Amino acid sequence: MAEPGRLRELAALFLKLGTIGFGGPAAHIAMTHDEVVVRRRWFTDAQYADMIGMANLVPGPNSTEVAIHVGRERAGWRGLLVAGSCFILPAALIVGFLAWMYERYGTEPPGEWVLNGVKPVVIALIAQAIWLLARTTVRGVLLPLVGVAALVAAFAGVHELVILAGAGLVVAVWRSGGRLANRSGAFLPLPLLPLLGGTGTSATMSAGLAPLFFAFLWIGSVLYGSGYVLFALLQGELVDSRGWLTEQQLLDAVAVGQVTPGPLFTTATFIGFLLGGVPGAIVATVAIFLPGFVFVAITGPLIPRLRGSAVFGAFLDGVVVASLALIGWVGWVFGRDAIVDGWTAAIALVAAVLLFRWRVPSIWLVLGGALAGLLIEWIG
């Protein structure tokens, strides 16, 4: 049974991260690493890297699934529920409020001044997480080479799923001396399993809470990759197939998801509110995140056992190094948008020094970045 103290720790930590977690999944993973590995020492870098790798092997919101893994490892199934729910709740409440404002007044409260200062801080957090994780998990000669290849593939536009599966297979086959290549059908990586299923739900359902639930449940069950993949699925399901939203409404929902902290999947909260008020917001939010809880509950206990398998251990090593490469690629792309002038470059540099030299907690860096963004807006 989970200790109440551990559950309180998890609740406090992930409520905080869900409130200050600007910057998307890569930033969330970096902030969580800073809290649970660097500061609290609940896990080693290798253990945390395995959680990232396993989260990448199944569909759903990666950073939320990492939070759920942390909760499960720390306090069992109660910790799983507490960590995941507390990470999602702040963002869902914020997005729900903005949806109410949007529906009532037709406008979105400004948030760009916050992002202008927070984004450069996020770059420093991502850089620190990659450095610390790579230092302990990327060993030997093969893994660095696979990591470089994965990074090149990411810049070339190869799908994230292909990069993860390819890296895992390369390492597994190499370490097995080529034996796996001669076993047809003997090894099917987890990321490929959902691709063997159907292509979606029927577009003939009428609007209502039940169809809304199943639409978002399907999206949460099959979605791999970045937020852009989420937007593509939402466009196809809700705009093109069902006609529940206009393109402008979807674009507004996406904009709200980008300027608020926490998981990007809370875009579903905004859409659910537009389609069904508060009940619709709750239904859509629960539905899109529910598969992530289920996937972690199923795969989390398997990590130690799979690590004991030479084949899957090698596969997971490849997935981990590819995951770090993808985080690096996201950081680079994000950095081009975040560091646009001398002010933002200075914020990133100061944040990096404070983080690497004095390990200032991420909450103070994020709040400091938001304040700096406000001051820049006022000066400019």
Percentage of the chain beyond pLDDT 70 is: 87
Which of 305, 375, 300, 303 is closest to 117 using CA atoms?
375
Per DSSP (E only), the strands in the chain are: none
Per the confidence metrics, is the pTM higher than 0.75? yes
Under a CB-based contact definition with an 8 Å cutoff, are residues 134 and 324 in contact?
A: yes
**Whether the Cβ atoms of residue 288 and residue 60 lie closer than 8 Å to each other:** no
User: Measured at the alpha carbon of residue 312, what is the angle toward residues 190 and 295, in degrees to the nearest 5?
Assistant: 35
Alpha helices (H) in 223-261, listed in sequence order? 227-234, 247-259
pLDDT tens profile 244-262: 988 778 877 876 777 788 8
pLDDT per residue rounded down to tens, the chain (380 residues): 567 889 999 999 999 999 998 878 888 999 999 999 999 999 999 999 999 998 888 888 889 999 999 999 999 999 999 999 999 999 999 999 989 988 876 655 455 677 788 888 888 888 888 898 888 888 899 999 999 999 999 899 887 778 888 999 999 999 887 555 555 444 444 444 443 333 333 333 345 899 999 999 988 987 765 555 577 678 778 888 888 988 778 877 876 777 788 898 999 999 999 999 999 999 999 999 999 999 999 999 888 887 778 888 888 899 889 888 888 887 887 788 789 899 999 999 999 999 888 888 877 888 898 899 888 888 86
Cα gap 339→70, rounded to integer Å: 31
Record the tokens describing residue 79, joined without a space.
């910790």
Distance CA 370, CA 375 (A): 9
Cβ distance 65 to 265 under 8 Å? no
- Cα–Cα distance for residue pair 102/104, rounded to 1 Å: 6
Reading the block at residue 108, the tokens are 């979105």
d(CA 17, CA 62): 15
